[in-house]
Amino acid sequence: MQEYIINGLLIVVALLAVILQIIGTRPSAGMTKKQKVMLWRILTATVLLLILQVLGAGAFEVFGAAGRWIRLAVFMVDYLVIGYDILEKAGKGIRNGQVFDEHFLMAVATLGALALAIYENGDYLEAIAVMLFYQVGEWFQSYAVGKSRRNISDLMDIRPDYANIEREGKLEQVDPDEVGIGTIIVVQPGEKVPIDGTVVQGESTLNTAALTGESLPREVKTGDEIISGCINMTGLLHIQTTKEFGESTVSKILDLVENASSRKSKSEDFISRFAKIYTPAVCYAALALAILPPLVRMFGMGLDADWETWIYRALTFLVASCPCALVISIPLSFFAGIGGASKAGVLVKGSNYLETLSQAKIVVFDKTGTLTQGVFEVNAIHHNEMDERKLVEYAALAESASSHPISKSLQKAYGMEIDRSRVTNIQELSGNGVIATVDDHQVAAGNDKLMNRLGVQAIPCHSVGTIIHMAIDGKYAGHIVISDIVKPHSKEAIQTLKSAGVRKTVMLTGDAKKVADSVASALGLDEVYSELLPADKVEKVEQLIQNKPEKEKLAFVGDGINDAPVLRRADIGIAMGAMGSDAAIEAADVVLMDDDPMQISKAIKISRKCLGIVYQNIVVAIGVKLACLVLIALGFANMWLAVFADVGVMIIAVLNAIRALFVKNLQSSEIPADRMGPRVRYNQAIQEIRGRQGAMYDIRLTVSAWCIIGLLGVLFIRSLGFREFHQEKIIPWLVGIALIFFLIALMFN
């Protein structure tokens, strides 16, 4: 029966290799030359092994005494076809002093099995099949890693090869690095925007999917800012560059993604340390298993040593103990998670930040540009002593040196070109406002703190918005009311965060208390702190960090240059990438490319999905291996179970890790009742059951554990030789009960 199963497996492997070779001929498959060669090796080794199985040992008896060695030579050819690179890597590891790795384990186990077969003139099938199935697992791992890298490289295929500059009526392609700030570049339909800039001529639609994950095209016209990495779809655009290529969005994104793998998570560090201890430990354990029991049998029990049995067990032990599933799948899971997040428009600078983000329970927001659009408009002018247009003119000129959204709104309300020659002695006072000399008049524009600083009595305003008090030549000249617009998804974003398990949402802003309270109330925030300077924001975040439980992490979301210190101080800093300042993006650990606050909950869900996959792989890989190692040591498992413990688990873990790439369907678990479908209601009901039945869940796990312990106890007793124990009746019942309880427990896990 076993022979039929093995032959069936070999036929499946051969057919799989043929199918994959056919698929690999398609360019879309993305299969490397090395992977195609490996498929040919797998196919050749499998077909040869099948032929040898069909022929059997009797076919070589015609050669007489030499038949044994001819048969060995043919099997060795098959072994070398499939395993020569493993032997080579093991040899290099030994020469470099890095002995204990998976290649060494596999080389020793298979060569040892071959040596036993030669000694006994037995079956060489196991040794070659182990190497064959190991290579199948390695191929799947290689293809999975390649797929993750291709997904990220395809996603990040935004690096422009050239920039078009019009010279003497002709377009000339130049290196983007050679294009200076202020240069007019031309982007034709179908080309990538190479450098950040402003559209000075033309209209078009842009594909921003590679940057933001947003499939809908974006319309642009003259005067609109445009970021590099987008693809121009329709019209011809003339763009005046505002940054050098090295400082443009596309360069920064590429740098973030390329360096992400260098920042390892705690889980990856744990696995690296674990592998360094685990591999030598199992090698010494296998050596002890091969030597100690025979010696005990010889000198302690007066029995035959039975060296062949125990050496075979030791070799099987080595095959099963190979840590491939762990050392491959865990980094792959994080790599795939970062790739999946990038695809959704969320750039994570490293797997350590992905791990920290999954633990975020407190989310702190900046207001302007984060929860609000940062698009300010002048709505009213009160208590003015001069003409409204003149007051706005003075305010716009005084604020002309600032890039703050409020300053831009004043300049927009003025509506004319700013004559900087009329403005001198500009002093920007952080958290207060601006003092400047305009047409030989001292103009102060800012909040009530600035007025108090100048000894000017400000008249309070009852309107909700940002109040810009004006003082000209030391006298109060009225105030301008500027209001910001809340982003369309901000309220929904807060709700989705709470449904995603965020315990507290907080807003920190330098804006007036009335404005801040109004926004916080509209959005449903838990806490709000207003009229804060940049240093006050850092202090407030430090207080929140001190007062939270140790295991909870605090995330801060901001976009302005004044948010950079807070982004660095928080456990995890999240920056709005599209409109955010360069300083904020540099300081942040996570960058949202489309400035949509809904992306925050998506980022948290992606990180939790990735960490969930990591923990699943750790539990499955270690759990299965330990169980198999115990069974092998007690003599209840052979080389085929060891192959499953190694190759089978590795393939399962790798395929599971690939799931981290797919994040499209991640959505809020809390939806209004009128929009809630039956599947969502079912998932929520399951969540409630989990909460109510925690005690039962613990009981089921306890019973499962004791059933498994009982099973192992029976197996141990059997290994000692007490045949009268009737284990053949007890074992099936214990296995059945353990599996039933374990599956029931998993249903609510």
Distance between CA atoms of residues 573 and 541, nearest Å: 12
SS3 assignment, position 474 = coil
595-599-603 Cα angle (round to 5): 130
Q: What is the largest CA-CA distance in the chain?
A: 119
Read off the tokens for 119: 């000694």
DSSP secondary structure of 539-597: HHHHHHHHHS-TT-EEEEEE-SGGGHHHHHHSSEEEEETTTS-HHHHHH-SEEETT--T
Closest CA to 367 of 582, 559, 97: 559
DSSP secondary structure of 493-510: HHHHHHHTT--EEEEE-S
Tell me if 297 sits within 8 A of 305, measured CB to CB. yes
Tell me if 407 sits within 8 A of 399, measured CB to CB. yes
Read off the tokens for 523: 């959005």
The number of residues in the chain equals 749
366 assigned to active site: yes
DSSP secondary structure of 357-401: HTTEEEEEEESTTTTB----EEEEEES-SS-HHHHHHHHHHHTTT
Amino acid letter, 495: Q
282-284-290 Cα angle (round to 5): 100
Q: What is the helix (H) or strand (E) element at residue 102, kind and residue range?
A: helix 102-120
Of 101, 366, 448, 646, the active-site residue reads: 366
Amino acid letter, 630: V
Distance between CA atoms of residues 710 and 558, nearest Å: 56
CA 659 to chain centre: 11
DSSP lists the bridge partners of residue 163 as: 174
SS3 assignment, position 186 = strand
Distance between CA atoms of residues 346 and 468, nearest Å: 36
SS3 assignment, position 658 = helix
Exposed / middle / buried, residue 224 (Cβ in 10 Å: 0-12, 13-18, 19+): middle
Residue 2 CB contacts under 8 Å (≥ 6 apart), including other chains: none
**Around Cβ 18, how many Cβ atoms within 10 Å?**
14
Distance between CA atoms of residues 217 and 239, nearest Å: 18
Q: What is the helix (H) or strand (E) element at residue 745, kind and residue range?
A: helix 727-747
Distance between CA atoms of residues 414 and 138, nearest Å: 67
Distance between CA atoms of residues 486 and 328, nearest Å: 45
Read off the tokens for 173: 């392609």
Distance between CA atoms of residues 497 and 504, nearest Å: 9
196-243-577 Cα angle (round to 5): 55
Read off the tokens for 316: 């099987």
Catalogue the active-site residues: 366
